[in-house]
Amino acid sequence: MVVKCTKYFLIICLSLIMTTLSGCSDSQAEPEKKVVQEGSMNKKVSMVQERRKDGMSALHGVMLKQITNYAKYKKYTTSLADLKSVIDEDGRIESDKRFYKVAAVECSGKSITECVSLIATPQGEQAEMDKECATLTYNSMGEKGRSGTAKVEECWAVY
């Protein structure tokens, strides 16, 4: 489902994102220790997908803060510190389970008052194991993306 969020539908978008996040309460839990045995591709795929959910949950959480910021100041922000979030030395927000780091940029061809794009970059072992989807993106227009070779729908199907 693609949701186009504009200033006229801000309340509806905020409600949709909050509904989406309410189904993600397990994202606060500690990461499970999963053992991947040699030759067990199903377990590896399952673990990669489970970790990918951590990145998607982080993107939705940061977008919720962006929408709140937009409601107050009539613009999005590329400085995640403006969202009163804990950021790393590079200005990125770490996902709950630490498999991704999220950054914000202006959408291509649009101003920051029109659109913000969030980028979730996989970290550590997740970066090595998830070449199919790799970096996940989500913008304030509701568009989802990835930098890997898999189809966008496949990468976001786990969420």
Interval 40-54: pLDDT, tens: 667 778 899 999 999
Task: Answer yes or no: is pLDDT of 68 > 60.
Answer: yes
Question: 3-state DSSP call for residue 29?
Answer: coil
Provide the pLDDT confidence category of residue 35 given band limits of 50, 70 and 90: very low
C-beta separation of 61 from 118 below 8 A: no
Output the pTM of the full model. Answer: 0.75
Classify the C-alpha dihedral 96-102-107-111 as positive or negative: positive
Task: Answer yes or no: is pLDDT of 20 > 60.
Answer: no
For residue 63, what are its two tokens? 């977008």
Alpha carbons 3 and 141: distance in angstroms, whole number: 7
Task: Answer yes or no: is pLDDT of 9 > 80.
Answer: no
